[in-house]
Amino acid sequence: MKILFDEIHETGLTLEIQDATWFPEGDWQRVGPVRADLHLTRRSRQVFLEGRLQYAVRFDCDCCLEAYEDKHDDRFQVEFEYLPPDDPYWHSDAGEHECPEEEMDVVALEEPALYTEAILEQQVILSLPVKRVCCDDCRGLCPQCGKNLNNTPCSCGENEPLSPFAVLAQAKGR
């Protein structure tokens, strides 16, 4: 959905989005409904967005390879600023713009409009974990027999040296 800055009243604009057609695809699967609540306020060429995003996805654990569900209820804030095409920001001689600290969290826009689908997609991707683990104490798979150590103990590692460097010590004859 495209929202023009002029459509945002002084009192703000509130949106409730329950359509999941925008939800990004990846190596995960969306589970259940998606809900996004957005509140936008405008001040001149700036728009402040406060949002809440609720969804669940199914991942395969990076350690044990079992599927698990990861529920999210995330709040976020994004500040946008429309900079016209003749603004010096777009025409730096060096091709770069050094941002002062107060501009670091501001998204510069080439047109006075927001695309909610793109914003929500970005927020989902930013909120997904890099390391996907089914639980904090996941024991993973046995490197020799492949059993899921969360479900069944195995005896493969009983005769193994405790240190990965013990093999090197044996190779040196110590």
Tens of pLDDT, residues 49-81? 999 999 999 999 999 999 999 999 999 999 999
Structure tokens at 68: 């698990």
Which contacts of 13-18 are long-range, i.e. CB under 8 A and separated by 24 or more positions? 13/39, 13/40, 13/41, 14/38, 14/39, 14/40, 15/39, 15/40, 15/116, 17/116, 17/120
Tens of pLDDT, residues 106-119? 888 889 999 999 99
Place 99 in a pLDDT band, splitting at 50, 70 and 90.
Answer: low
Provide the residue ranges of all domains of the chain, joining segments of one domain with +.
2-138, 141-174
Q: Are the beta carbons of 117 and 24 closer than 8 angstroms?
A: no
For residue 101, list its beta bridge partners: none
For residue 35, list its beta bridge partners: 54
Give, rounded to a whole angstrom, the gap between the first and last alpha carbons of the chain: 69
User: Is the pTM above the cut of 0.85?
Assistant: no
Place 140 in a pLDDT band, splitting at 50, 70 and 90.
Answer: very high
